[in-house]
A and B are shown apart, each in its own frame.
Chain A
Amino acid sequence: MKEKKTVLNIRDFSVSFEQYERGFHKTVLPVIRNLDVTVHEGEMVAVVGSSGSGKSLLAHGILGILPYNATMGGEIWYDGELLTPKRQKMLRGNEIVLVPQSIAFLDPLMKIGSQIRKGKKDKASKARLDKIFEGYHLKEEVQGLYPFELSGGMNRRVLVSTALMGNPKLVIADEPTPGLHMDMVRRVMSHFRELADKGAGVLLITHDLEQALEVADRVVVFYAGTTVEDAAASDFQAQETLRHPYSKALWRALPQNGFQFIKGTQPYVKELPDGCPFGPRCEYCTAECQKEIAYREVQGGRVRCVHA
């Protein structure tokens, strides 16, 4: 198989927040660390993690729109070059597009049509938008409406439409489908798939492993701000082909595998254990797990576990 070009390569990425507690006492919250993700051309990579694991921050980090009190570490490579703040500014909205997580990302006082077109009024953008809307069963009148006049599901489709306006090389979709009907979810996913098949890289952020497995080529598993495993979607067919105990736990929680949930919850940033963040909930946890753990290649995937 021909080696595909890498669109996005994130190495040892980290995000921390500076916060002032009770007056002048400054604390640093390391919300994300040891995060590694790679997306190739024509590939759809799903990032799966529970709520609060840092998925949205990853998306915002790639686009350079983290809040001002956030500090980024590590490296982001895009199209073979380091993604500097200057390049981020140039590329976002053109080559790199975001489908944001919530409909609060729409301007409440701007009409849908011009909002999606970013105020452009030329024939080409209009025609393009009409075509996208047709595909999503959105009437043309919707373009003249404001977000508050649309249902949640319609606004979702509007958010997705923004990404389809250009010819992106990297699509970052942050939980794009909640509130949509099953067949609309399929349609949205098929559009992302199409973009990938045309050569773009798609980073699909979701907490729904089932959905990820349906469409993605690879799945990156997040836990408490860290990537614990990078596996081919096909590896999720059996527990044995998975590498990390947390991925296996996710597998066992799938409906077809018996809905077995493990005890406990993802630790809050301030109560993170040393070493493996999953340690306290892991049946294989040993003393070794409390040290720095390397991200290793194992059977064509990658894993951050000493026992794999």
Chain B
Amino acid sequence: MIRMLLLLFFVSVAAFTLVSVSPIDPLQANVGQAALGAMSQEQIAKLSEYWGVGIPPVERFFAWAGDFFRGDMGMSLLYRQPVTKVIGVKLVNSLWLMAIAWMLSGIVGFILGILSGIREGSLLDRIIKGYSLVIASTPAFWLALVLLMVFAVWLKVLPIGLSVPIGVEASGVTIADRIQHAILPAITLSITGVANITLHTREKMIEVMESDYVLFAKARGESTYRIVKNHALRNVLLPALTLQFASISEIFGGSVLVEQVFSYPGLGQAAVTAGLGSDVPLLLGITVISAVFVFGGNLIANLLYGVIDPRIRRGGSRA
């Protein structure tokens, strides 16, 4: 818990420092050069106050932190709504995406990694490895653009962007609509995620298949199928699970870019908007929430390890 608080503190300080030293002038960025020129000094002064220009950064940070501990994340300057509310809406949008991508990449990645690692250098291994390497080194936004072109522009089977149909009232949006709009971004995220998980799982699988205990299982006449089922799976599953929960951070990172490309109004996109628009309260809010997720993922990974791995679970009871 202490670690978590420390982490949150440092992450928010870092984010805050970055916005403070950013060369973007919030007034120019949000009001516009031309409009600014047409304003009176008074108006400008008022705006400056609204955007917090001129107040020493340290003071601003502690003001924010103080509110935060009282449970108030402040008002978003851009959306003119409480930060909690903005994040709430965006988070739900993003969670859809990320949950689908996370599960898909975890399951598919694990299976591909196992298949690939059973026999290093086999045809299957070379195909899976080659595919994963190519995908892993492809930028997510580029992949997003390609998918967008193929499915939305050429084939016209899926919508181009946004999380709901344009021009439909919020109450008229169906679950089907939501799913349809989340498919492309989710697939993009999954494809990138799968490659990573596959490569890591494969690596571990090869290590296990070369281990002495697999050699001994072979010497005792166990078939490859039984070796995989009885020995390899359980030995690879442990590190794979940790990786899976730790990969939440990567999915988070990837979603920023992907949401941008698909103009999907999720947390990632909001972060970009907040960053570019100097919406400090919103940016800090998002940063903290993301950190909580990433930290939570790692924490779950560690706890799971303790539950599943007998060496840790039972390790303590050994006299």
Residues of A within 8 A of B (CB): 60, 63, 65, 89-94, 97-98, 100, 102, 104-110, 118-119, 146, 148-149, 162
Report yes or no: B230 in contact with A119, Cβ–Cβ below 8 A. Answer: yes
Report yes or no: A100 in contact with B212, Cβ–Cβ below 8 A. Answer: yes
Given known contacts A105-B213, A107-B231, A110-B230, is B219 in contact with A146 (CB within 8 Å)?
no
Judged by a CB distance under 8 angstroms, whether B25 is at the interface is: no
Docked Cα-Cα span, A34 to B226, in Å, equals 36
Chain B residues positioned under 8 Å from A97 (CB to CB) = 220
The 8 A CB mask of B295-319 against A (1 = contact, 0 = none) is 0000000000000011100110010
Report yes or no: B213 in contact with A104, Cβ–Cβ below 8 A. Answer: yes
Docked Cα-Cα span, A149 to B317, in Å, equals 9
Nearest 7 A-B pairs (CB), nearest first? A93-B221, A105-B216, A93-B220, A104-B212, A107-B213, A105-B212, A98-B219
6 residue pairs from A and B, CB less than 8 Å apart: A65-B218, A92-B218, A93-B219, A98-B220, A108-B235, A109-B231
Chain A residues positioned under 8 Å from B219 (CB to CB) = 60, 63, 65, 92-93, 98, 100
Given known contacts A65-B218, A104-B212, A107-B213, is B315 in contact with A148 (CB within 8 Å)?
yes
Judged by a CB distance under 8 angstroms, whether B215 is at the interface is: yes
Judged by a CB distance under 8 angstroms, whether B222 is at the interface is: yes
Chain B residues positioned under 8 Å from A107 (CB to CB) = 213, 217, 230-231, 235
Cβ 8 A contact of A110, one of B215, B220, B231, B238: B231
Chain B residues positioned under 8 Å from A108 (CB to CB) = 213, 235, 311
Q: Which residue of A lies closest to B119 (CB)?
A: A68
Given known contacts A93-B221, A149-B318, is B216 in contact with A106 (CB within 8 Å)?
yes
Judged by a CB distance under 8 angstroms, whether B234 is at the interface is: yes
Report yes or no: B212 in contact with A102, Cβ–Cβ below 8 A. Answer: yes
A170 to chain B, nearest CB (A): 12
Chain A residues positioned under 8 Å from B315 (CB to CB) = 148
A105 to chain B, nearest CB (A): 4
Docked Cα-Cα span, A105 to B218, in Å, equals 11
Interface class of chain B by DSSP: helix
Report yes or no: A148 in contact with B216, Cβ–Cβ below 8 A. Answer: no
Q: Which residue of A lies closest to B309 (CB)?
A: A109
Docked Cα-Cα span, A246 to B315, in Å, equals 48
Chain B residues positioned under 8 Å from A102 (CB to CB) = 212
Docked Cα-Cα span, A102 to B215, in Å, equals 12
Cβ 8 A contact of B221, one of A92, A105, A106, A110: A92
Report yes or no: A109 in contact with B221, Cβ–Cβ below 8 A. Answer: no
B53 to chain A, nearest CB (A): 59
Chain A residues positioned under 8 Å from B217 (CB to CB) = 107
Q: Which residue of B lies closest to A67 (CB)?
A: B210
Docked Cα-Cα span, A155 to B222, in Å, equals 21
Docked Cα-Cα span, A118 to B211, in Å, equals 17
Chain B residues positioned under 8 Å from A105 (CB to CB) = 212-213, 215-216
Chain B residues positioned under 8 Å from A94 (CB to CB) = 221
B119 to chain A, nearest CB (A): 9
Chain A residues positioned under 8 Å from B314 (CB to CB) = 146, 149
Docked Cα-Cα span, A102 to B311, in Å, equals 19
Chain B residues positioned under 8 Å from A90 (CB to CB) = 221
User: Which chain B residues (206-251) contact chain A, with CB distance < 8 Å?
Assistant: 211-213, 215-222, 226, 230-231, 234-235, 238
Report yes or no: A118 in contact with B216, Cβ–Cβ below 8 A. Answer: no
B233 to chain A, nearest CB (A): 10
Chain A residues positioned under 8 Å from B222 (CB to CB) = 93, 118
Docked Cα-Cα span, A105 to B210, in Å, equals 11
Chain A residues positioned under 8 Å from B215 (CB to CB) = 60, 65, 100, 105
Docked Cα-Cα span, A107 to B238, in Å, equals 14
Q: Which of B211, B230, B238 has the most CB of A within 10 A?
A: B230
B137 to chain A, nearest CB (A): 24
Report yes or no: B310 in contact with A106, Cβ–Cβ below 8 A. Answer: no
B31 to chain A, nearest CB (A): 61
Docked Cα-Cα span, A199 to B165, in Å, equals 81
Chain A residues positioned under 8 Å from B230 (CB to CB) = 107, 110, 119
Docked Cα-Cα span, A93 to B218, in Å, equals 8
Given known contacts A65-B215, A149-B318, is B235 in contact with A109 (CB within 8 Å)?
yes
Chain A residues positioned under 8 Å from B310 (CB to CB) = 109, 146, 148
A292 to chain B, nearest CB (A): 33
Chain B residues positioned under 8 Å from A104 (CB to CB) = 211-213
Cβ 8 A contact of B311, one of A92, A110, A146, A162: A146
